[in-house]
Amino acid sequence: MKKIILSSMTMILFSLLVSCNMGKDNATEYKPGTGEGDKYVQVIKDKDNLMPLKETFTDIISVLGAADAGKTYKDTNLTTALNGLGNAQDKEKFLKALNAKKQLEEAKKNKDANNAMIDAEFTEVLSKLKFASDSTAAGSYEMTMKNFRDHLSA
């Protein structure tokens, strides 16, 4: 009888230990922006259906970073800056790019973030949004951003 009880207790303890530890090696948490090559975890899963960033001053300046030296962003200039983007499609395209940038910058804060892959993902987003690839050309994200920042801090 003692052997049966001892044997069953051993089995229960062994089962408990195995189940508690099960999958710990495989339970790696996959955070957006981490991994390499085909193991890279995309930050923006559906680049074709990216939502535009809200048109609020606080949301927009959180993505822009600091204003140029000697200038400050002004809430009163937001409408002018948004109108300076062009038609509704151009404005939506720029706000989608800002939303992507916000998500990607947030992913760069993750432990083991792959900054090179995150930057490549942003380039892919800009391409899908049909920004000009030459950073000095009209219609490029960089030129649009410069003009927007200039209008916002005028």
Query: Would you list the domain boundaries of the chain?
Result: 2-152
Q: Are residues 34 and 110 in contact, defined by beta-carbon separation less than 8 angstroms?
A: yes
DSSP letter for each residue of 34-50: BS-GGG---S-S-GGGP
Inform me whether the pLDDT recorded for 111 exceeds 60.
Answer: yes
Give the gyration radius of the chain's Cα atoms: 25
Confidence of residue 29 (pLDDT cuts 50, 70, 90): low
- Rounded to an integer, the average pLDDT of 29-52 is 92
